[in-house]
Amino acid sequence: MPRQPSAHRVRKSGRRPYWEIQINRVVHYLGTDSVEAHRLAADLLAGRRRVITTPTTIATLIDAYLDEHPNPWRQDMLRIWAAYDGDRLLTEVDDETLARFIRYLQQRTTKHGNRGEASSTLKHRVNSAMLVLQYAQRRGWITYLPPKPSLPRPQKRYRDASDDELEAVFTQLLGGAERILTFMLTTGCRPIEARLLRWDQVDLRRGIATLEEHKTARRTGRARTLYLTPPARQLLKQTPRVARTGFIFLSNNGRPYTASGLRSLFRRRGIAGGPYRLRHTFAQRALEAGLDLARVGALLGHQSLSTTQIYAQIRHREASQAAASLALPPPPVTRDRSVSETAASRAAVEAPRTRQTTRRKSSRATTG
């Protein structure tokens, strides 16, 4: 007997609960009625094509948009909007709809422990919401399209960690936690590359690690070569090998580190941004050491120099030091020019005095 399909209930603080089901990484919002939600879930799981009816809420509008434009990335961008304002009626959409959503994004705590979405993520979420509203206007489901609110200007923050932040992170770290963070700092690898690194991928004699699965593997079709710096090679030589797992960096429970586990090492010490900042710190230090963008990009595994350019930052203190080192001479001024300008200024001052003296003399002559 086939298993009875069921929808997954999601509660929202201060609002009515609604139902959703995820199939092939696409979330379908099934409304607030339990019976209707389970019927729709059964149709979806049975493979029967869902008929797009006229949506009445933002959640059902998002569902209709994703049914017609399936995109896992877009679905992830719209997920927060559906959870926050999903049961709002389309007839209630006004100028404050997106403005209210932006204020919520600026105040929520992200999965990385930061307060407020990053400026780029906020922009993508708002743009995705605008696409859905424009889609609804084209279909005639809404008559008024609210204008896109002006987004706050992004604050330029250095992504690399300062010396004080590194000291705060590495203080009182022991065992595997210290090893994996040191490895990331000395190689510039991504956190997921360090977490899932295995001994059979490492060639200490050649000083490289070959990663078949990595961030850009599907797009490039090539393996990623991770170059091991001398400190990283020495670290691996001192790391004990556990044959039963094959992974290099293991947590206290004997398993590879999780993404949330690494982020917690930063969050517990009040450092925002997570372990990815170690990759930016490696890139910044390599640039400060005199390496050009092409070499730094090769160490980071970038396919384009435009990506490496993001890591090329100039610190404020470096700019101040550069400005202080520039002892530029004053503009040249000839002696003749200065003398002539001085004489002209004196003549301009003395001219009114001469005219006043002439007037007094003429008045005395007339009186006498």
For residue 334 the two structure tokens come to 């000839």
Residue found by looking up tokens 């919520």 in the block? 104
Burial code of 37-55, b = ≥16 C-beta within 10 A, e = fewer?
A: bbebbeebbeeeeeeeeeb
pTM of the model: 0.53
For residue 125 the two structure tokens come to 């979420």
Q: Where are the domain boundaries for CATH 1.10.443.10 in the chain? A: 163-315
CA nearest 176: which of 74, 120, 130, 245? 245
Alpha helices, DSSP H, located in the chain: 34-45, 58-68, 72-85, 96-107, 119-138, 163-170, 175-187, 191-195, 217-220, 230-238, 259-267, 276-288, 293-300, 305-309, 316-325, 335-367
Burial code of 315-347, b = ≥16 C-beta within 10 A, e = fewer?
A: eeeeeeeeeeeeeeeeeeeeeeeeeeeeeeeee
**Amino acid 249: pLDDT:** 92
**Amino acid 252: pLDDT:** 85
User: 82: which residues sit within 8 A by CB, 6+ positions away?
Assistant: 27, 29, 58, 59, 62
Per-residue pLDDT of the chain (368 residues; tens, 9 = 90+): 444 445 555 444 344 556 767 776 566 666 667 787 777 778 777 776 554 567 889 998 998 898 888 888 899 899 999 989 988 999 899 999 999 999 898 888 776 566 778 788 888 999 999 999 999 998 888 988 999 888 876 655 557 888 888 888 888 777 788 899 999 999 999 999 999 999 999 999 999 999 988 887 777 788 899 999 999 999 999 998 887 788 999 988 888 999 888 888 888 887 877 898 899 999 988 888 888 889 998 999 888 888 787 777 655 555 556 666 665 566 665 555 444 455 555 555 555 555 555 555 555 544 44
Domain 163-315 has CATH 3.40.190.290: no
